[in-house]
Every structure is written in structure tokens, then in C-alpha cells.
Amino acid sequence: MLFNTKSVAQKRADFRKALTSGKTLQFPGAFSPLVAMLIEQLGFDGVYISGAVLSNDLGLPDVGMTTLTEVSQRGRAISRVTALPAIIDVDTGFGEPMSCARTVQEMEELGLAGCHFEDQINPKRCGHLDNKGLVDSSSMVKKIKAAADAKRDKNFLIIARTDARASEGLEQAIDRAKAYVDAGAEMIFPEALQDEGEFEKFRKAIKVPLLANMTEFGKSKLLPLKTLNSLGYNLVIYPVTTLRLAMKAVEDGLKEIKTKGTQEELLDQMQHRKRLYEILHYEDYNQFDQSIFNFKV
């Protein structure tokens, strides 16, 4: 009821197994626990928690201004409500190697199934913007090794993201990815690949599972699930999609209210209260206290 019935250990073990299924797993982004519940009920494979979305939801740009506490606690709130595995974006790890080690242990304790570190310098920026600065490969290797050594659950997934494609080229991005795998990364997230051919080259060069980022309005072509599956990608994220959908609807609705003074004509565009209660399993709470749900919608 308040928590899902699947243990964190089982979620992680099931996730590990699913990564070897030959199927590309779909992880839409969740900007709130409620969205995570909907993602599960609609039959997706997992939940992605975007650092950019967490920053934006706090009214901040995605430049590394969030703290470990803010990110980890929001990650816990989102991951706890679903039986699906949730992976989280921890930016550059909130510091140097020792901080990366602590970050992994915090995420483990709070119920996440994995996290990804990126090789940008601070202040970082969205992976699909120009002029990103990178740490040298050896510095990132130290972070990944520290993170891998710090984890206590063997099924917690250490993911390394490289942003090198934009500034150093595809081959250097592949070289970095190989070094990160040698350091302990169990999945690689190649950011901002430009076309299907680059996705294919990365797959041929890297032996561990790969993550594809299908974010809108970025540098990567939006490849359909069938294509990503044929290319051999193990997981695809849609990090900001739900936030963008929601914000567009909210903005349009607010304009309507400001212009017309009423939301009457927007009702058919809204999720009905009854559907919201279905997602929340509102009636199930009656088993706990019959005074909570004693009405009809």
C-alpha cells in the first residue's frame, strides 16, 4: 500500500536478468512518484530519474547545482512507489572519487537499482548542448573505480556516461567508454550520438550493456524501439518526455484560465479524479481504515 511489495534486492536482481533478455528495455522519465506509478501501470520496464528534470523542477537549469541530498531523497520518493527498477542520474557524482563512493552507497540504501556518472567538468550542462567541457579520462576512471568498489549489492548497476562525442569525436568517445568498463562500469551511456550509424559503431565496439538516450530536441535522431532493439541496445530512456508533456498542458491550461476566467472548456483535457484515484489505488486504503474511502466518485 504505502510501499510496493517487491523488495529492493529483488527489483535489482530482476533488472539484471532483464538486461540479458535481448529486449530493449523502456525506461520513461518520472518527475514525481505519481508518474512512476503510472509508468508501471502502463506496462513499461522501468523508471528513469533525470538530473535535468530534478533541477528544472526546482526552478534551476541543468548545470550541476543540485545536491546529493536533494537528488537522493527525490530518487527515493520516486523509486519506492513502484515495483519497477529505477535508475538515477547523479551528474558528475557530487564531487571527486570519495564523493562518488558515498553517492553510490546513498543510492543503494535509498532503493535505487543503479545510477550513472558523467565525464563532464563542473559546471556541467545538458548533454545535448554545445561546448561541453570534459575531465580527462584518467580522472573519470578514478571516479568509476571508486563507485564500483563502494557498492555493496552486486546487482546495483554502475553506469558510465561519456559526453565525448561532441568535443572529441566518436572514436575518442569509444576509447573512453572502454576505459570506463575496465574501471568497473557495467553499462555505458554514450551521450548525443548523431545517427543510427554511430549507435551501431558504439554497439560493435563495447561489450557491456548500452543505454540509448531518446531525448527530444537534442542532437540524436529519435530512433524507434524496433531500431534500437535491432542495434542491440539494452535500454532506452525518455528522460524529459513526461515533464515536457505536462508543462505544455499546464501552460496551455493556465493561458485559457487567464483569458477566459474559467477552466470549464478544459475538462475533457484533464485526467479525471476517478482515474487519478485508480492510479493511487485509493480504494485499497479502505482495507487499512474504512473511514478514508467511504464515498463514491
Query: Has residue 265 been placed in a domain?
Result: yes
Q: Is 182 a catalytic residue?
A: no
Q: Is 76 a catalytic residue?
A: no
Burial of 253 (0-12, 13-18, 19+ CB in 10 A): middle
Whole-prediction pTM: 0.94
Judged by phi (left if over 0) then psi (alpha if -120 to 50, else beta), residue 272 lies in beta
C-alpha cell at 157: 548497476
User: Do 87 and 17 belong to one domain?
Assistant: yes
**Residues contacting 263, CB < 8 A, separation 6+:** 253, 256, 257
Radius of gyration of the chain (CA): 20
User: Do 192 and 148 belong to one domain?
Assistant: yes
Bridge partners (DSSP) of residue 157 are: 114
pLDDT along the chain (297 residues), means of 10: 83 98 98 97 98 96 94 97 98 96 98 97 69 90 98 98 94 98 98 96 98 94 97 98 98 98 97 94 79 71
Of 14, 45, 186, 213, the active-site residue reads 213
Of 16, 106, 125, 126, the active-site residue reads 126
Of 108, 191, 203, 244, the active-site residue reads 191
Which residue matches cell numbers 518526455? 241
Q: Quote the pLDDT of residue 1.
A: 61
**Strand-by-strand arrangement of the 86-89 sheet:** 47-49, 86-89, 114-118, 157-162, 187-190
User: Do 185 and 254 belong to one domain?
Assistant: no
User: Do 176 and 262 belong to one domain?
Assistant: no
Give the closest residue to 210 by CA, choosing from 174, 169, 156, 183.
174
User: Do 277 and 164 belong to one domain?
Assistant: no
User: Do 214 and 94 belong to one domain?
Assistant: yes
User: Do 136 and 283 belong to one domain?
Assistant: no
Burial of 184 (0-12, 13-18, 19+ CB in 10 A): middle
Q: Quote the pLDDT of residue 2.
A: 66
User: Do 147 and 262 belong to one domain?
Assistant: no
Q: In CATH, what number is assigned to the domain containing residue 205?
A: 3.20.20.60
User: Do 15 and 143 belong to one domain?
Assistant: yes
Q: What are phi and psi of 132, to 5 degrees?
A: -75, 140
| Overall domain count for the chain | 2
Query: Has residue 57 been placed in a domain?
Result: yes
User: Do 253 and 236 belong to one domain?
Assistant: no
- The whole domain housing 66 covers 8-240
- Of 202, 224, 240, which marks where a domain is finished? 240
User: Do 108 and 194 belong to one domain?
Assistant: yes
Q: What is the pLDDT of residues 126-142, one digit of tens each?
A: 656 666 789 999 999 99
